[in-house]
Chain A
Amino acid sequence: MINFIEWLASTSGSTALRESLYMYPWIESAHVLFIAIFFGTLLFVDLRLTGYGFKSLSISQMNAKILPLTIIGFVLMSITGLLLFYALPIRNYQNLFFRIKLFLMFVAGLNAWYFHRTMNRQSQTWDKNSFIPFKMRFSASLSLLLWGLVIISGRMIAYNWFDCDKQPQSELVNFLISCTVDPEIYEYLNGI
């Protein structure tokens, strides 16, 4: 994996992005705007599912009217996000917050998959009702919580507190970021 990441960092596109004065800030700003579109529209979808917001619309109407924009926001956010990763592949790959963020996104994805699978099966029974099964309300709240945490951990990627080139780190941190260091570092940490 690290070989692939190192190769990615050596490509000319990555170098150009990394060294450009304005490209990186522009992509970063666009990423933030797309986050606002994605998270902001998802907020109203999930609010409806927990019984707030656009209550006079049925859930399937909400999904049909707003989810397309949420998906557009997600795609644009992912493209800009991948470009930001591509600019600094090694740094991101070995960044603790980046890994936490990927994990949280994976869980958020599972939650969304579970939600839509269940909804497709049984939504007819509660689509227009004000009563929404607890499981579904829980899943919608979890979605907001997870994406909120994704935003927070994403913001933290910029900080190098747990980076591989900033030693000494604890053994656990180095394990989590796949960072190999001289074992003497741990002896130093343990005060031997």
Chain B
Amino acid sequence: MESNQLLEIIYFLEDSFIGEYVRSSLWLFPVIQSFHLIGLGILGGAIVLGDFRLMGILMRTESTSYVVQVTRPWFNFGLIVLVTTGIPLFLSEAVKCYYSRAFWIKISCLIAGILFVYFIRNPIVLSRDENYSMKFLGLVSFCIWVVTAASGRWIGFS
């Protein structure tokens, strides 16, 4: 019964003004998708540099907190671009997304990634708390975001 209610909401979202508008245009979906990719590049850069530093691969002479401090605003910016372009993309094919396993993996990883970065990784790194393994924090964050991006691309194949 719960899932029926969810499906009703999904149909409502697909029929929404924005969903209709994106679907009615030949160009809009690809153009929004392109900017979604650019957002991925921006967030990807912030994640790669931050997490590779935490794992000890890059910029070892700079402190972990400095690298996270510099990359943080670009992570935020990339995320804003991704969410504002991702929502209309979703609305235009909400029902397809509902039935796509890739979509649910992507959304789960996205939420996990956002929570992990804002509530675990950044606070620990910025407080310079040395009780935690920086390598582990970087590895977990990097893996979550790789799966998010890859399963996101996979929505298009399903």
Interface residue ranges, A against B (CB under 8 Å): 25, 28-29, 32-33, 35-37, 39-44, 47, 53-54, 56-57, 65-66, 69, 148, 151-152, 155-156, 158-159, 161
Contacts and interface: CB of A to CB of B under 8 A. Distances in A.
A156 B66 CA distance: 38
Contacts of A53: 70, 74
A33 B146 contact: yes
Given A39-B45, A161-B26, A155 B58 contact: no
B151 to A, nearest CB: 9
B34 A66 contact: no
B44 interface: yes
B59 A66 contact: yes
B46 A33 contact: no
**Chain B interface size range:** 20 to 34
B154 interface: yes
Contacts, number: 91
B9 interface: no
B107 interface: no
A53 B33 CA distance: 26
B62 interface: yes
Contact of A57 (B30, B31, B62, B153): B62
Given A29-B154, A44-B49, A155-B34, 8 more contacts: A33-B150, A35-B44, A40-B48, A43-B41, A43-B74, A57-B62, A65-B59, A151-B37
Interface in B7-50: 26, 30-31, 33-35, 37-38, 40-49
A160 to B, nearest CB: 11
A66 B38 contact: no
The 7 closest A-B pairs by CB, nearest first: A40-B45, A36-B44, A39-B41, A40-B44, A152-B34, A25-B157, A29-B153
Nearest to A40: B45
B41 A66 contact: no
29 contacts: A25-B153, A25-B157, A29-B150, A29-B154, A33-B150, A35-B37, A36-B41, A36-B43, A36-B44, A37-B45, A37-B48, A39-B38, A39-B41, A39-B44, A40-B41, A40-B45, A42-B45, A43-B41, A43-B45, A44-B45, A53-B74, A54-B62, A66-B49, A66-B59, A151-B37, A151-B38, A152-B34, A152-B38, A155-B33
Interface string B70-111: 110010000000000000000000000000000000000000
Contacts of A152: 31, 34-35, 37-38
A151 B34 contact: yes
A158 B153 CA distance: 13
Nearest to B151: A29
